[in-house]
Amino acid sequence: MKEVRLRVLIEGRLQGANFRLNTQQQADKLGLVGFIRNLSDGRIEIEVQGQENKVEQLLQWCQEEPHGGQIKSILFRYDEPINRYSEFSVR
């Protein structure tokens, strides 16, 4: 299976919904590495890397879970994998 890196920007009302922690737990379950963090403009940034099908499962999870109703937009793009991460962390 091909390894990919996905960069995601999420806009919506996700503060206080444990979104970052829940995303970290989901990424850990899927065996993914990378990070999630709040940006100064209120959006959330996710950079995740791993097997392509697992990365796509995380992206789908972000859109489908109950928090999906609070999301205004999700922008994402695939990049070349890098050897920067050993785990998935909340920053």
Name the residues annotated as catalytic: 20, 38
Contact 23, 59 (CB under 8 A): no
Buried b (16+ CB within 10 A) or exposed e, 9-43: ebebebeeeebbebbbebbeebebbbbbeeeeeeb
